[in-house]
Chain A
Amino acid sequence: MSAALIELAGIERVFHLGDSEVHALRRLDVSIAAGEYVAVMGPSGSGKSTLLNLIGLLDRPNAGVYRLEGRDVTTLSAEEQARVRSERIGFVFQSFHLVPRLTAGENIALPMILAGIAPAQRAERVARALGDYGLENRADHRPDQLSGGQRQRVAIARATIMQPAVILADEPTGNLDRATGEEVMRLLEALNENGVTLIVVTHDGSLGARARRQLLMEDGALQNDQSRSNRVIPEACVLPT
């Protein structure tokens, strides 16, 4: 399985809350191939957000190995991890996380600014991204002058501007109404069709059902890992294979 984009083996994540230990993730083994569309589902507290943070290199596991594109990234220094985040991973958040004082265009350019890309190239890529996401005449608006859907489109444009291998979306429609949420999901799925690996965390069943593969989490462990191809015979998955 060296072709896997993301390979998690024996991942443990323990949080210490006072005297008690909370096992957010227990001996997790997951492998995600490049170009997959995965929904991570489960009730709150099941560890799905922790999993996303680990995959996004925002958090480190207490045990286990995480290979991204065949490279062990758990042992990288914080600086190297930041570099991997910058170049290979794009985040989309529930609450958008746009910088309020920056315009839409500046928010989209932020990852490139942090990566030290030259201004001319930045301007060109921002212009293209604004066009791609239908934000041409919103470029100079600040986030508080944008609708929720527009904000999330800006966030998606920002997540993709560095052409990452994987996009991690944490409840991307959580703060949006149904129609806008639908529109945002279509944008993300379009990216996936172009080859970007898409991992969406949600507790919304209908949203998760759109993915070709669902990871069902419970109590920090993987309860169920089903692919849509199996759903041709939905009853089958009830039986342990």
Chain B
Amino acid sequence: MRTPDLIRFARDAATGNPLRTFLLVLAMAIGVAAVVVLTALGDGARRYVLNEFSSIGSNLVIVLPGRSQTGGFNPGNAITSTPRDLTVDDAQALLRASAVHRVAPLAVGTSEISVGGKLREVMVAGTTAEFIDVRRLVLAQGRFLPAGDWRRGASEAVIGAKVRDEMFGRQAALGQLVRIGDRRFRIVGVLAASGQGLGMNTDELVIVPVALAQAMFNSNTLFRILVEAASRDAIEPAKAQVAEIIRLRHEGEQDVTIITQDAVLATFDRLLGTMTLAVAGIAAISLAVAGILVMNVMLVSVAQRTAEIGLLKALGATSATIRNAFLTEAAMLSVAGAVLGFLLGQAGAAIIRQLYPAYPAFPPDWAVLAGLATALTTGIVFGVLPARQAARLDPVESLAKR
């Protein structure tokens, strides 16, 4: 039997019973669609978290006071006492490292901002002009803090988008004078709304020069030093150099923790990647169920078409031809189900992306390929038994059946 004839014969056999074929294709499609959608969700979660981290800035090396810390970006860490505080001088010293591109000190505390009778609690971040580049923030209006001596600073503040909305409403914020704590500041810039940035929502942030923040909170400690390495490859050298400089400045004691964004990203990447894999595995069970359904339906089909099989044998079909015809039919149903399921799954993922634009629910390529491959494999593997049964039928008995 020629291959095109075989395919046509199998197609006619499949379309000869539309309801059976439809249900089978549907079952297969649901299995594949489940794999596609669930992995899209899982991988979407991974991408979402990675995006969140990336939004902090790239090639970032973060210096935390204290030896080994597990807290991450917790503002509460600002209060913890450590043997030696990180200071603005420490931060400035880091600029000497060759692998370091930019440095931004960060002092954090909470205070009140008031203007025109409105009062609001805000998080105040004391930093320098480099902060906007290191953290990859975008300004909506005005300008950022001016570059200059880190130990001084004009009474100028940059506010987050939400703070601006709540304090000023429709009025212009730029150039306005506000009171933060017991000092007066002039608003020179407004950050673009982002909503992102783990642990510290920049929309609700007020940024002031680091010297003024330290004065405001009556402390000379820093919450963090953000270091941007010169390039991706320079992250590790930067980390080593930063550690060495701080160690020398702190009388030979290694009393800071240095984390790289890459390490955090890699951990999350692994964690969520594994989760996606697990979800894909669960979805694959539905494919196995669909495979068993293929077998069941094909067995029924063999039983229903016994007379036809006997006839084909009488007309000179070999066992191999009969087996191939049934295998081809099973494979075609699986392919149709897999393709339909793929389209349904992609459509489902697209709907999720429409509903939650921030959530990048794209199914990963490997999952789509694995889903399609599993569908085909199960369809064919579970098609083997019915096909063999059809091939083994005795022609005399088959022809007698009607």
Contacts from A to B (Cβ < 8 Å): 53, 56, 58-59, 78-79, 82-83, 85-87, 91, 93, 95, 97, 99-102, 110-111, 113-116, 118-119, 158, 162
Contact = CB atoms under 8 A, between A and B. Distances in A.
B82 interface: no
Sort A-B residue pairs by CB-CB distance and give the 10 closest, nearest first: A86-B316, A101-B16, A82-B318, A58-B395, A85-B316, A97-B311, A111-B315, A114-B317, A113-B5, A91-B314
Interface in B114-145: none
B350 interface: no
Contacts of A119: 5
Given A59-B396, A97-B311, A102 B12 contact: yes
Interface of B: 1-2, 5, 9, 12-13, 15-16, 307-308, 310-321, 395-396, 399, 402
Contacts of B307: 97
A79 B322 CA distance: 12
Nearest to A96: B311
Nearest to A91: B314
A60 to B, nearest CB: 10
B16 A114 contact: no
B5 to A, nearest CB: 5
B319 to A, nearest CB: 6
B2 A116 contact: yes
A116 B316 CA distance: 11
Q: Is chain B's binding surface mostly helix, strand, loop or mixed?
A: helix
Given A79-B320, A102-B12, A114 B314 contact: no
28 contacts: A53-B396, A58-B314, A78-B318, A78-B319, A79-B320, A82-B313, A83-B318, A85-B313, A85-B315, A85-B316, A86-B315, A86-B316, A86-B317, A91-B315, A93-B399, A97-B307, A97-B311, A97-B314, A99-B308, A100-B16, A102-B12, A110-B312, A111-B315, A113-B1, A114-B1, A114-B317, A116-B5, A162-B316
Nearest to A98: B311
A118 to B, nearest CB: 8
Given A99-B308, A101-B12, 16 more contacts: A78-B318, A78-B319, A79-B319, A82-B313, A82-B316, A85-B316, A87-B316, A91-B314, A100-B16, A101-B15, A102-B12, A110-B312, A110-B315, A114-B315, A114-B317, A118-B2
B401 to A, nearest CB: 11
B316 A115 contact: yes
Contacts of A158: 315
Contacts of B310: 97
A71 to B, nearest CB: 16
Contacts of B15: 101
A56 B314 contact: yes
A113 to B, nearest CB: 5
B391 to A, nearest CB: 10
A101 B9 CA distance: 10
- Among A58, A59, A86, A93, find the residue whose CB has the most chain B CB atoms closer than 10 A: A58
Contacts of A97: 307, 310-311, 314, 399
